[in-house]
Amino acid sequence: MSILYIVPTPIGNMEDITLRARRVLSEVDFVACEDSRVGGKLMLLLGLKKPLYAYHEHNKQRAGEVIAERIAAGEDCALITDAGTPAVSDPGEDLVRLCRSRGIEVIPLPGACAAVTALSASGLPSRRFCFEGFLPEDGLKEYLEPLSREKRTMIFYSAPHDLIKTLKTLYDAFGDRNAALCKELTKLNERITQKKLSEHIADCESAESIRGEYVIVVEGYTHRDEDEFWYGMTPEQHVEHYRALGLSDMDAIKQTARDRGVPKGAIYGLIKKG
């Protein structure tokens, strides 16, 4: 019986491949990859020729059986994903579970991980954190409700076409917390900014286009969130509170922005969109 190797691949910058990863890829009998086109490109860049076997969300049950049987028969396999560490928020999790259930040795290699890379540069507390990945499509309210009291820093992923929706969903669930928005990590257009969620929303809504992959690192719950009278209010409700006290629309927006520690343009943008 041979070995399943978990081999991380670069998340953008090919210089991030490790010497050990390259050696393992050169020594295994075959490579299980998410997309054979992406896997083939990686092998070409490394100057390696190995048989590739497709393993992804849509074939993982059948392909997993084939891979496990080949390893049990004496072949070494390297599991890679398109970018980052396999088996973390990834179909490879099922393959690892299957191999372990059959007594197959699984050896993980350290390497690139977008979540940890983003956290390290976020400026937010990193001693304790939780990784949440992409938001689920169903049961979103039930999913986020317990996280609204999560004290650890939280890490989310978002595709470009979902970014504004994701930011607004997090804003609605957590309030206007500090967050680091990390775009295209390790790539030429890498950009990391830390602002309030409302400011990120305003920036994205005013952008001509949104491209690339994103990691969103969000500040955890603190008791100070509830110390403010406006805790639980939407920006619209917050502004309306000051209108009811006799302030003009613009003064109400200015005071709301002052309370929340954000530029008045961010509040104005949210009110206007609403």
Q: State yes or no: pLDDT of 6 exceeds 90.
A: yes
Q: State yes or no: pLDDT of 136 exceeds 90.
A: yes
117 within 8 A of 185, measured Cβ to Cβ: yes
More confident residue, 146 or 182: 182
Residue type for position 36: S
Q: What is the dihedral of CA 106, 110, 116, 118, to 10 degrees?
A: -130
More confident residue, 270 or 226: 270
pLDDT above 70 as % of the chain: 97
d(CA 203, CA 219): 19
Token readout for 53 is: 């076997």
d(CA 93, CA 91): 5
Q: pLDDT tens digit string along 88-113?
A: 999 999 999 999 999 999 999 999 99
d(CA 236, CA 256): 9
Domains of the chain from N-terminus onward: 3-108 (3.40.1010.10), 114-223 (3.30.950.10), 228-273 (no CATH)
Q: Which of 54-68, 165-179, 243-257 has the lowest mean pLDDT?
A: 243-257
Mean pLDDT value across residues 22-42: 97
d(CA 62, CA 69): 11
pTM above 0.75, yes or no: yes
d(CA 261, CA 251): 15
